[in-house]
Amino acid sequence: MPRAHDPDAEREFARRILTEEAAAIAAAAEAIGPDFHRAVELVESCAGRGGTVLVAGLGKSGLIGAKIAATLTSLGIPAHFVHPTEAAHGDLGRFRPDDLCMALSNSGETDEVIALAAALRQDSIPIVAITGGPACTAPSSLQRLATVTLRLVIAAEAGGPDFIAPTSSTTAALALGDALALAAARRRNFSDRDFAKHHPGGSLGGLLRPIIDVLRFSAGRNLPLIPDSVPVSEALLRAAGAGRRPGAIMLTDAATGRLAGIFTDGDLRRLVLRDPGELSRPIRDVMTRSPRALPQTALVRDAVNMVREHRQDEIPIIDGEGRPVGLLDVQDLVAMRLVKD
């Protein structure tokens, strides 16, 4: 019979689950030792010689293993998930001498994982094991077969004793796998730009694209650069001559060519409402001086952060000397579904 619905009790139960799982991750962090360093070396070495990290696990551990394999791949380290049962029926042929096996079993006694590790041990393929259990207990079968073992100390699964489903153990294993993958990628000097090459789709790929690649308005092509000494009316005419324009005019210092300011549609609206006669004034008197700008080496995520932090709809892009290269309109980010209109 279902329990009576009590919102307060449910929220408290959820908080307890999250707190217990967070504690499992904290315990995994405290347990990091020399074996982790050795595991990172093995992953780095495998990738360096052109091998593949083949991740194996059964049940919930298998699901966690598949995610770890996907993380490794995103970070430029070739990886695949191998089902340990299928390995006994032909998938052992996927392992090559330069490969590495990452085997997950919370108990360290999962028959199918042990059988796979034993076969790989005979072929001298290195094995990184992720298992549970305190370090003071006797080594598990998987630990005895592994080249190096990362042990998770899980006092109890979150939700116990009412529930015995894997919770804290799988969460901690996933976090440890992420740490291992990221540490190996860090050793290999894997950068955001490398990540973008491996993950060109979706919002993550979009955020990591060079800003210069998404500019619709580029100086010298469809974005006129106007000296800040001309009257407002003349600046508007010059900008209109370029056809479709962004929501701001780029203004430069005539002597240096550097960005002096921008004049936005909002600036124009406020000026006209205040006094239409000011259209004859030099635009430098009414422009937004020294606007926040991004270097041409920036990534799209830098523009997204600027929009979110400063509510800036028009972002000048400049070169190393402060000269305008282009202008990013917030609508470009909206079209990429990286910010909301």
For 13-41, how does the pLDDT look when each residue is reduced to its tens digit (9 = 90+)? 999 999 999 999 999 999 899 999 999 99
Domain that holds residue 35: 7-190
Tally Cβ neighbours within 10 Å of residue 65. 29
The answer on 281 and 136 residing in a single domain is no
The answer on 230 and 108 residing in a single domain is no
CA distance 44 to 314: 43
The answer on 184 and 46 residing in a single domain is yes
CATH code for the domain in which residue 86 is found: 3.40.50.10490
Domain's final residue, options 190, 221, 242: 190
The structure tokens listed for 147 are 């080249």
Mean pLDDT of 307-336: 87
The answer on 240 and 170 residing in a single domain is no
Q: Which amino acid is at 161?
A: P
Q: Is the peptide bond before 161 cis (omega within 30 degrees of 0)?
A: yes
88-102, 186-200, 203-217, 301-315, range with greatest mean pLDDT: 301-315
CA distance 89 to 105: 20
Domain's final residue, options 161, 190, 219: 190
Tens digits of residue pLDDT in 37-65: 999 999 999 999 989 999 999 999 999 99
The answer on 164 and 270 residing in a single domain is no
22 contact partners, CB below 8 Å, separation of at least 6: none
Domain's final residue, options 190, 221, 241: 190
CATH code for the domain in which residue 283 is found: 3.10.580.10
Tally Cβ neighbours within 10 Å of residue 218. 14
Name the packing angle between helices 168-187 and 34-48 (round to 10°).
Answer: 60
The answer on 52 and 22 residing in a single domain is yes
The structure tokens listed for 196 are 């973008």
Indicate the number of domains in the chain: 2
The answer on 183 and 103 residing in a single domain is yes
Q: Which amino acid is at 334?
A: V
Answer yes or no: is pLDDT of 200 > 70. Answer: no
CA distance 162 to 219: 66
The answer on 169 and 44 residing in a single domain is yes
